[in-house]
Each structure stands twice: as structure tokens, then as C-alpha cells.
Amino acid sequence: MLEKSFCMIKPDGLARDLEKEILKRIELTGLRIEASRSVALTPAEAAELYQPHAGKPFYDGLIKFITSGPVTVCQIAGEDAIARLRQLMGATDPRAAAAGTIRGDLREADVIGEHGTIKNLIHGSDSPESARRELAIFFG
């Protein structure tokens, strides 16, 4: 099914100058980047994006990390875009992410950030509902 997904290159990705590499991998897998822009997330946008995680032990660190520097937000489109982007990203913890995935191949030596959050370079929507909700925040 032709789908749209929301994707975000996180502050660690931009700080390590991996934006081009990550966008290239998304395009090489056959997905289209319909729109992208670099922004600094406001605390309100960060809270809206990660609303499903509110109250979890890692939530405060996640919000601090994601607002610690610029990110690049993208609208992705293609056949089964949501699942294919997730597959390309790899497991949440880069230490468990397979070779060939963005999180696996591009992980840094220390994946735990100063706020205790897992630094894993990229966010991708996990379901059609999440994709709709997340795209609406940044691409109206």
C-alpha cells in the first residue's frame, strides 16, 4: 500500500554530519523524501511528538536530548513506507541493531547520552496512526 511516514534525523545524526548518508540510504531503499527541513524542536513540539512516552523513565532525558540541537524532519512516501523505514532504521538500541541498518551501521561507541537516553540517529513512525499524528505536527 502506498503510505506516508514521518522521519526525523535526531541531534546526534546532525552533530555527526550523517544527514546526507541517512537520506541517501532512505532513497536507495526506494522511498521518496517528499519534504524535509531542519528545525530546532520547541519543547511543545517535542512533547507532542513523544506524547505516547510521557511518564516513562526515559521520557525527560528523551525530551532534553531531542531539544539539544537541530533535527531534520521529513515526509517520506512509498509502498509500505512505514514498515520499510522501520526496517531500514533497525532496533531501538543500536547495540542490538543488525548490520545493514542505519542504527546498526552508523552507531557510535557510546550510545547512551548524557541524559540517559539512547542515541540512535533517527526516528520513524511505528504505525499508520502514528504517521498521521506525527506528520500533522510538522507538515500540517
- Where does this chain bind Mg ion (CB under 5 A)? 126
51 Cβ contact list (under 8 Å, min separation 6): none
Q: Which residues pair with 79 in a beta bridge?
A: 2
- Applying CB under 6 A, the span of 16-24, 32-40, 71-79, 118-126 interacting with ligand DAT comes to 118-126
Question: If contact means CB under 5 to 8 A according to the sort of partner, which of Mg ion, ligand DAT, none does residue 92 touch?
Answer: ligand DAT
Tell me which residues are annotated as active site.
123
Q: Which residue has the cell 546526507?
A: 20
68 is a site residue for ligand DAT (CB under 6 A): no
Name the 3-class secondary structure at 22: helix
Q: Which residues pair with 6 in a beta bridge?
A: 75
Work out how close the CB of 126 gets to Mg ion at its nearest, in angstroms, rounded to a whole number.
5
First and final C-alpha spacing in the chain: 22
Choose which of 42, 51, 92, 127 interacts with ligand DAT (CB under 6 A): 92
